[in-house]
Structure 1
Amino acid sequence: MEKILVIGAAGQIGSDLVLALRAVHGNENVFATDLRSASNEVMETGPFQLLDVMDDKRLIHFIIRNRITQIYHLAAVLSGNAERLPLQAWDINMRSLLNILEIAREVPEVTKVFWPSSIAVFGPTTPRHNTPQLTIMEPNTVYGISKQAGERWCEYYRNKFKVDVRSLRYPGLISYKAEAGGG
């Protein structure tokens, strides 16, 4: 039985993802976490915990205690806030990802990690039509730079430690339910 952790469950992607995963895997098998309260639907249909992804000791304890097998790491400081707080955004976006990758490397029960990237990795020199997977990136925002670095870290952990980490480059997403919070 899969035990799934969604970090960033109160956000635009997380709020819907938690409900979809619970419909497939069972409410009791999908653990929703965030720094702030999520929607009533997320909080009332299954396990929810306030949890800071930057608190690596508490995070690993939570993962081991709940026998987590998959992690969806959605927490991040998004574009607008990242431009206002570049050092904080870099620290949160990179250190939180590295915490998750290290946990996946060290905890054998964790067999899958999903971490979203973004088209923010592309910059003004990127081909705009039929953009290939491997191409010129040159991001020009703090968020884009952190996502590009995150892609490289995921690739490194996959190649070096065989961590099963997957990612998609999302476009700018707007939820019909959750307010844009900027991470």
Structure 2
Amino acid sequence: MERILVIGSSGQIGSELVLELRKIFGNSNVFATDIKNPTDEVRNGGPFQILDVLDYQNLLHFLVRNKITQVYNLAAVLSGNAEKIPLQAWDINMKALMNTLLAARKSDAKKLFWPSSIAVFGPTTPRNNTPQLTVMEPNTVYGISKLAGERWGEYFHKRYGVDFRSVRYPGLISYKTEPGGGTTDYAVEIFYEAVKKGSYE
């Protein structure tokens, strides 16, 4: 039986993904974690724990103690916020990934899912029929960290056998969670601001 850890279960992807994974694998086999409280659905539907992915020893202990076989690492400083705090965003995004790669290598969690982004491409990438392998010159902190993360995942796969998987998502929005600092979050923020202030700037 698979035992799954979702890191970042309070975010746009995590809050939905946890619910779907619990339908497939059972509530008690999908562990939701984050550094902030989740939705009531996530909290009440199965195990939830506050877990900081930047704390490697605690993360490794969690994986071993709960016999985790798969990890979904969704923790990140998103694109818009990353531009405001570039060095801190780099440190958080890369350390979160490296900790999960290292912990997966040292535990039974041999499958690691980590979302990448179309931000890896940048302005010099061909815009029509963009191939999988092409020019990648990202010009944002988020894109640079995602490109580096893809390479680290490939390295850990080839060198240590970690089953690393990633999808390059475009902008994502959610009607269930508040915006988290991505570049497309304005599509949701405009409605929150309109209700609160009557306008969006």
TM range (shorter): over 0.9
1:106 Cα deviation (Å)?
A: 1.3
Mark the runs of 5 or more structure 1 residues left unpaired by the alignment.
none
Q: Equivalents in 1 of 2:35, 2:174: separation in Å?
A: 19
Structure 2 residue 89 is matched with structure 1 residue 85: no
Q: How many residues align?
A: 182
Q: Equivalents in 2 of 1:179, 1:63: separation in Å?
A: 29
Find the counterpart in structure 1 of residue 105 from structure 2: 105
CA deviation profile, 1:44-93 (whole Å, cap 9, x unmatched): 00000011000111111111111100000000000111001111100010
Q: Equivalents in 1 of 2:65, 2:5: separation in Å?
A: 12
Find the counterpart in structure 1 of residue 131 from structure 2: 132
Opposite residue 44 of structure 1, the aligned amino acid is N
Q: Equivalents in 2 of 1:34, 1:159: separation in Å?
A: 29
Structure 2 residue 108 is matched with structure 1 residue 96: no
Find the counterpart in structure 1 of residue 45 from structure 2: 45
Q: Equivalents in 2 of 1:60, 1:7: separation in Å?
A: 13
Secondary structure of 1:31 counterpart: strand
Secondary structure of 1:2 counterpart: coil
Mark the runs of 5 or more structure 2 residues left unpaired by the alignment.
183-201
Considering Cα pairs closer than 8 Å and 6+ residues apart, tell me whether 1 or 2 has the greater RCO: 1
Q: Equivalents in 1 of 2:56, 2:181: separation in Å?
A: 22
Find the counterpart in structure 2 of residue 170 from structure 1: 169
> What are the equivalent positions in structure 2 for 1:28-39 lying under 5 Å apart?
28-39=28-39
Secondary structure of 1:152 counterpart: helix
Find the counterpart in structure 1 of residue 14 from structure 2: 14
Q: Equivalents in 2 of 1:160, 1:63: separation in Å?
A: 21
Q: Equivalents in 2 of 1:179, 1:64: separation in Å?
A: 32
Q: Equivalents in 2 of 1:63, 1:170: separation in Å?
A: 26
Q: Equivalents in 2 of 1:54, 1:117: separation in Å?
A: 19
**Larger Cα Rg: Structure 1 or Structure 2?**
2
Find the counterpart in structure 2 of residue 114 from structure 1: 113
Output the aligned Cα RMSD: 0.9
Q: Equivalents in 1 of 2:57, 2:110: separation in Å?
A: 19
Secondary structure of 2:6 counterpart: strand
Give me the TM-score of the superposition, normalised by structure 1. Answer: 0.97
Opposite residue 11 of structure 1, the aligned amino acid is G
Which 4+ stretches in 1 moved above 6 angstroms? none
Give me the TM-score of the superposition, normalised by structure 2. Answer: 0.89
Find the counterpart in structure 2 of residue 58 from structure 1: 58
Q: Equivalents in 2 of 1:124, 1:145: separation in Å?
A: 13
1:111 Cα deviation (Å)?
A: 2.1
